[in-house]
Structure 1
Amino acid sequence: MAVSVSLQCLGLIILAAVLLQTIAVAVSFMYFNKVLNTMQESFSRSSVSCLINANLRPGLENSAEDKKSDPCWQVTQQLHYHIEKMMADRFQREMREKLTGVMPIMSPGVPLPKVAAHVTGVTSSTGHTTADGLRSSKGYLGERVRAWEGERGLSFLQNMELREGELLVPRAGLYYIYAQTYFRLPSTEEADGEAKGETGEEEGADLVQYIYKKMSSYTVPILLMKSSRSACWPRGPEPGLFSLHQAGTAFLQPADRLFISVSNVSAMEMDGRASYFGAFLVG
């Protein structure tokens, strides 16, 4: 009988111990859960407070070491880094989309702009209009370059027309316009007295490139850009090679026309990779 009572007491003690341990674990779990929630809310409020109260400009009141140890400074620095990275990526993507259509050989397979043209030089014995170096009777300087190719090789026309060496603008907007002309000056052994001047005293040549636009409402062409350089006549058997390049933007209206003139069209090297001009709509 005494043994039975002892076993019952032992069972009650064990049961009480298990209940106390369960209650302790439950209370500990609730306590730590409450502490974690409190810490999370405090961290969220501090993060929002950092974003609301942060000064975007670098402060002068704290040293660099104090800033690095400040959690708010770390949060704002990370945010600034991600914002700057997103803006830089977007800017590069937009600029790439605008400039890939300038030359088709630069980005094969990339769709061209809605309005664009790139025309290249082509050899032609009757494709030039000659004029004096001074302003001609037609109102422009230099000699017109008419021998341009718009459909074969590296050239293309995208919603623009090429008429007698002129690019016809189809719609109003801001256009990016560019041109390059390549010159081959004969050497002193090849050039005769007429090419260098009757007295033979001329030591060089002035190479000039003009970009003009013609408007239907104005009879005289308007000079948009000009590029020039002074080149010396090459001495020796090899010819002298020189190039002029220029580019810029201009606002054009429908039916405006663009054309190129140079100081000495007979000296141009009309290779499609050396002499070309074009334009495309920016916006």
Structure 2
Amino acid sequence: MAARSSKRQDSECSTAPLADDIYERKACNSHCTLVVLCSVLAFFCAGLLAGLATMWVYFGQQIDQLRSAYEKLDLPGHGSDRWNITATVDEAVRMLLEQEEDQKAAADHTQVGPPIQTGWSPGSRKPMAHLTGNPRQNLRKHHGEVKLRSWESEQGLATLANGMKYRGGNLIIPVDGLYYIYSQLSYRFLNENPEEHSDKDANIFQLIHYTFKQSSYPEPQLIMKSSRSTCWSKRTEFGLYTSFQGGVFRLEKGDKVSISVSNAQMISFEESSSFFGAFMI
């Protein structure tokens, strides 16, 4: 009995240290978990603070840019009760966006072969036009001044480009600037029955070539003129004369340029002999 009691006591004594070891391990695991959680929380807080600091710096820069843009504005009513802060901020933002778009466009711009444009915009190629004679014109005999209204603007050698427009005999200027304006008219005298007239008889013509500019003034302004008096014998079968004129003029958007002539029925409206045009320089 004494031996059995001794063995039982030894068994109980041997199990006591094992229970203490398990308790210490559990405490250690709990401590490690707490340290890990604290570390993760500290890291998260540090990242959050860094993000907030970055956002603070970014918005500070944006506010400085808005303030700089605002200082450049000349706003009516500034300093009074009528001053609209919302409109001021909107205008400052618009200016910043336009500045960024201009910088991006300048960085991305590449020079390529120019397509013919239907409208003009700043930075595009310069407006130009070359109109040619239209043989289908039916001009009655008229010795006085007549405006030429049927130039060819689309077919053959004719060209309209980069915003220049044509309507009813008028070239319409799309933008302010200096333009070279030119025109050429070829006159041809035909005598159907030259042998029926004597040498004393003659045909006398005044061939006058006008270029007009029409702007905001009610009456067109004469800007170029060339003239010649011809005397062709009635025994002559035909006679030829060419009138050319050109010059540089300052024109404004919406100005109209046109050509008028005397004895229009004598003009040869072949595209290579009679033409009219303008281009920006």
Could you report, residue by residue, the CA deviation over 1:106-134 in whole angstroms, capped at 9, with x for unpaired residues?
A: xxxxxx952100000012244x598662x
Matched-pair contact (CA < 8 Å) for 1:130–1:143:
no
Does 2:154 correspond to 1:151?
yes
**Count of matched residue positions in the alignment of Structure 1 and Structure 2:** 155
Letter in 1 for 2:229: S
* 2:119 alignment partner in structure 1: none
Letter in 1 for 2:156: G
TM-score, reference length from structure 2: 0.50
* 2:250 alignment partner in structure 1: 251
* 1:187 CA drift (Å): 2.6
Matched-pair contact (CA < 8 Å) for 2:132–2:272:
yes
**C-alpha separation between the residues in 1 aligned to 2:125 and 2:183?**
18
% identical equivalent positions: 37
Equivalences for residues 72-221 of structure 1 within 5 A: 114-126=126-138, 133=144, 142-158=145-161, 159-187=163-191, 189=193, 203-215=203-215, 217-221=216-220
Name structure 2 gaps, 5 residues minimum.
1-123
* 1:233 CA drift (Å): 1.6
Matched-pair contact (CA < 8 Å) for 1:188–1:235:
no
* 1:269 CA drift (Å): 0.5
Counterpart secondary structure, 1:220: coil
Letter in 1 for 2:171: L
**Larger radius of gyration between Structure 1 and Structure 2:** 2
**C-alpha separation between the residues in 1 aligned to 2:132 and 2:207?**
19
Matched-pair contact (CA < 8 Å) for 1:188–1:234:
no
* 1:171 CA drift (Å): 0.4
Matched-pair contact (CA < 8 Å) for 1:170–1:255:
yes
Change (3 A) 1:132 1:232: closer
* 1:185 CA drift (Å): 1.2
**C-alpha separation between the residues in 2 aligned to 1:161 and 1:125?**
20
CA RMSD of aligned residues (A): 2.7
Equivalences for residues 1-80 of structure 1 within 5 A: none
* 1:278 alignment partner in structure 2: 277
**C-alpha separation between the residues in 2 aligned to 1:219 and 1:192?**
49
Matched-pair contact (CA < 8 Å) for 1:121–1:148:
yes
TM-score, reference length from structure 1: 0.50
